[in-house]
Structure formats: structure tokens, C-alpha cells
């Protein structure tokens, strides 16, 4: 949903960057018009749309937030470096090592 939003609302130009950071957080950034600071909390509310004449139901970011919250994480939006929107997802990191299955 975050990537789909970046494609749909990124202004149809520039790059979309998806990054996994050292702390385990994930960010999706675009080079579009961004999300006005006054709207940054309300974009996660159900049926909220920044551009009422656009497509979509206004549920994508709400569902993304619900999924992240169910996994004890956080999601936020701010300005991307160079303009546009940047959505940041932070999920708790499991300190246990990941064990790979032995080859069959």
C-alpha cells in the first residue's frame, strides 16, 4: 500500500525509493508534492483523502497503519530529502538469531 501510494500520488515524476535501514525500519519516499504538515496524522484515518477528486477509497494508509500497529510498530509520514513524502515504518526487532534450514 505504501509503494502503491507513492506511485499514485508521487506526482508521476521522479524516483520512488524503498529502503531498509540498519535499525530495521523501512522507508518509502517519493519526489511528489508531499503531505502537508497539517495533514500528516489524518492521512491514516479511514476514508481520508488529500485529493477528494482522485481515485481510491482512502483506506490504504489506514490499513497499513492497522497492520503495523498489530505488530507493535509505528508508522509516520514526513518530508523526504529533496521534497516529496517519506513514510517510515518501525517494527520491533527480534534479538534472536535467524536460523536457516539445513539444505535437503
Residue boundaries of the structural domains of the chain = 2-90
The CATH architecture one would assign to domain 2-90 is 2-Layer Sandwich (3.30)
Within 10 angstroms of residue 88's Cβ, the number of other Cβ atoms is: 17
- Backbone phi and psi for residue 79, each to the nearest 5 degrees, phi listed first: -90, 135
Rounded to whole angstroms, how far apart are CA atoms 57 and 93?
32
Q: For 15-60, what is each residue's pLDDT tens digit?
A: 999 999 988 899 999 998 899 999 998 999 988 777 665 666 778 8
| The model's pTM | 0.81
Amino acid at each position: 500500500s505504501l509503494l502503491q501510494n507513492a506511485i499514485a500520488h508521487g506526482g508521476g515524476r521522479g524516483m520512488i525509493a524503498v529502503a531498509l535501514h540498519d535499525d530495521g525500519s523501512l522507508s518509502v519516499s517519493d519526489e511528489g508534492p508531499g503531505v502537508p504538515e497539517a495533514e500528516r496524522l489524518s492521512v491514516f484515518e479511514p476514508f481520508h483523502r488529500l485529493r477528494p477528486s482522485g481515485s481510491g477509497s482512502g483506506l490504504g494508509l489506514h490499513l497499513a497503519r492497522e497492520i503495523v500497529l498489530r505488530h507493535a510498530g509505528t508508522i509516520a509520514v514526513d518530508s523526504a530529502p529533496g521534497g516529496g513524502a517519506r513514510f517510515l515504518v518501525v517494527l520491533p526487532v527480534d534479538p534472536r538469531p535467524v536460523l536457516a534450514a539445513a539444505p535437503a
